[in-house]
Amino acid sequence: MPADTTTGASAAGVIHDLGYRGYDGPRLGRAQITRALAWHSFRSAFGFGRGAKAKILPVITFVAMCLPAVANAIAMAQGNQQLVGYSAYQPVLRDLVMMIFVAVQAPELVSRDLRSRVLPLYFARPIKTGDYPLAKYLGFTAACAVMIEVPLLLLYGGSVVSVHGGAAVWDQTKALLPGLLAGLMWAVVLAAISLFLASLTGRRAFATGAVAIFFLGTYTLAEILLQVENHAGPGPGPGPQKPGPGQSAAFLAPPVPMAEKISGLFSPFTLFDGVRMWLGGPRTTVAENVLYPGGFGAVYALVLIIALAACLAGLFARYRKARLS
Among 23, 79, 166, 285, binds another protein (CB under 8 A): 23
Q: CB 103: neighbour CB atoms within 10 A?
A: 23
Q: In 257-296, which residue ranges form alpha helices assigned H by DSSP?
A: 258-263, 268-278
Residue 309 binds another protein (CB under 8 A): no
Residue 56 binds another protein (CB under 8 A): no
Residue 231 binds another protein (CB under 8 A): no
Q: Measured between alpha carbons, how far apart are the two ends of the chain, in Å? A: 42
Q: How far is the CB of 106 from another protein (least distance, A)?
A: 16
Helix/strand/coil for 85 = strand
Contacts of 145 (CB under 8 A, 6+ apart): 183, 184, 187
Residue 20 binds another protein (CB under 8 A): yes
Residue 27 binds another protein (CB under 8 A): yes
- Whole-angstrom distance, CA of residue 128 vs CA of residue 286: 47
Shorter beta-carbon distance to another protein: residue 116 or 173: 116
Shorter beta-carbon distance to another protein: residue 14 or 92: 14
- Whole-angstrom distance, CA of residue 98 vs CA of residue 273: 15
- Region 116-155 residues binding another protein, contact defined as CB under 8 A: 116-118, 120-129
- Looking at the DSSP assignment, which residues form a beta bridge with residue 147? none
| Rounded CA Rg of the chain | 25
Q: Are 200 and 115 in contact (CB under 8 A)?
A: no
Closest CA to 154 of 60, 92, 73: 73
- Region 254-283 residues binding another protein, contact defined as CB under 8 A: none
| Among the residue ranges 36-44, 83-91, 147-155, 241-249, the one whose residues contact another protein (CB under 8 A) | 36-44
Type and span of the H or E element at 191:
helix 166-198
Shorter beta-carbon distance to another protein: residue 127 or 256: 127
Shorter beta-carbon distance to another protein: residue 135 or 277: 135
Q: How far is the CB of 202 from another protein (least distance, A)?
A: 11
Residue 8 binds another protein (CB under 8 A): no
Shorter beta-carbon distance to another protein: residue 27 or 164: 27
Residue 228 binds another protein (CB under 8 A): no
Q: CB 112: neighbour CB atoms within 10 A?
A: 16
Binding residues for another protein, per CB under 8 A?
Answer: 2-3, 19-23, 25-30, 32-33, 36-37, 40, 49-51, 54, 112-113, 116-118, 120-129, 323-324
